[in-house]
Amino acid sequence: MSAKSTLINSAGQPEFGLFPSGVSEVNYLDYDLRSPMDRKLSGWSKEFKLNQFQFVALVSPELIVGIAIVNLKLVSNAFVYLFRPADGAFEEFSFVQPLAVNTSIGRYPNNSEALFRKGRNTVSIIADGSAMQRRVCVSLAAGVEIDAQIDESACAPLAMCSRAGYQGWVYTQKTAALPCLGRVVWQDKAVDLVETNALASVDWTAGYMRGETFWNWASLSASLADGRRLGLNLAAGVNETGFTENALWLDDRLIKIDMVDFQFARYQTDSQWRVKSADGIVDLVFTPAGQRKEKINALVIASNFTQHFGVFQGTIRLPDEVIEIHQQWGFAEDHYARW
């Protein structure tokens, strides 16, 4: 099944729902964007009000890596963090560009480049639709070098578009537990992603988001004892207007999941999270091992972002089997945003 060619139809409206093979082009400039009082907004407004971000994680028992490019037009941001479970070593790098200088994210989720540059620091995420690969290249002045190739032919994405407030919408496309190869150089040591059995997850999101929003999110990419790959993407609070972005991947099989409840103590950052789905498929406990936290309060833009990395344990109950999860590395996130 081929991807849907464009998200915005001939009437200037987005197609809402799930897209089994994704969308080739998020043609947001064709959207009939209006104010809450139905006044047509200009092409400049369409460009300026669109928020975009990409997040890629590389996960193995030896190394956890998070990489993001965020374009909010008034400001852009890129961050890279690395965590080594064996000794607890952690380092993060975050860069901000006013007015999104030297920042770009294409409108083709599977065939364009996201790029952020500041000084001698460069982060790029390049999607090659013909090869069904996504390449992540990071070069930082501090000496961190990342070159990873992610095999996106391994499974179909969870792709969806939902309403966001009165006049907005969000398109998001996510995958988890994807095979990858390449290497990460950090603290003068090179880590081979194949030798460490690393798996990747990808999040590509764009849209006219609610001016004030929040979400909880969890992601897991694991190799099971029998050799199968298990991926999870779970969220609550942001994209549940008629559809959800909750799914799991078992090798190349995508299984949709119902609404998810996140139970956690926000101000006790070391405490466990309970993550349960309404359909009974997911029942997991997440134990944080560390976090990346950032607070921004800059006039019209604000963000209170906490992304934990840690281990999951619990059960995945499918109609034909029960999968036990034991100490598998992943992420849990609590995020407030105003933009």
Using one digit for the tens of pLDDT, what is the confidence trace for 54-93?
A: 999 999 999 999 999 999 999 999 999 999 999 999 999 9
* pLDDT tens-place string over residues 121-140: 999 999 999 999 999 999 99
SS3 248: strand
Residue 91, H or E segment: strand 89-98
pTM score of the predicted model: 0.96
Kindly list the distances between the CA atom of residue 247 and the CA atoms of 12, 178, 253, 254, in Å, as whole numbers in the listed order: 29, 14, 10, 7
Give the pLDDT score at 269: 86
User: Is the pLDDT assigned to residue 2 strictly greater than 80?
Assistant: no
Which residue in this structure is represented by tokens 């969000």?
Answer: 170
Give the pLDDT score at 327: 96
* pLDDT tens-place string over residues 257-293: 999 999 999 999 889 999 999 999 999 999 999 999 9
Return the minimum-mean-pLDDT range out of 20-34, 57-71, 238-252.
238-252
DSSP per position, 58-84: EE-SS-EEEEEEEE-SSEEEEEEEEEE
pLDDT mean across residues, the chain? 96
The percent of residues above 70 in pLDDT, for the chain, comes to 100
44 φ, ψ to 5°? Answer: -65, -40
pLDDT level of residue 1 (50, 70, 90 thresholds)? low
User: Is the pLDDT assigned to residue 256 strictly greater than 80?
Assistant: yes
Give the pLDDT score at 325: 97
Return the minimum-mean-pLDDT range out of 12-26, 225-239, 291-305.
291-305
Domain that holds residue 86: 4-338
Number of structural domains, the chain?
1
143 φ, ψ to 5°? Answer: 105, 0
CATH of the domain at 320: 2.40.370.10
CB 29 within 8 A of CB 47: yes
Return the minimum-mean-pLDDT range out of 8-12, 72-76, 174-178.
72-76
Give the pLDDT score at 273: 98
> In the predicted model, what is the mean pLDDT of residues 303-321?
96
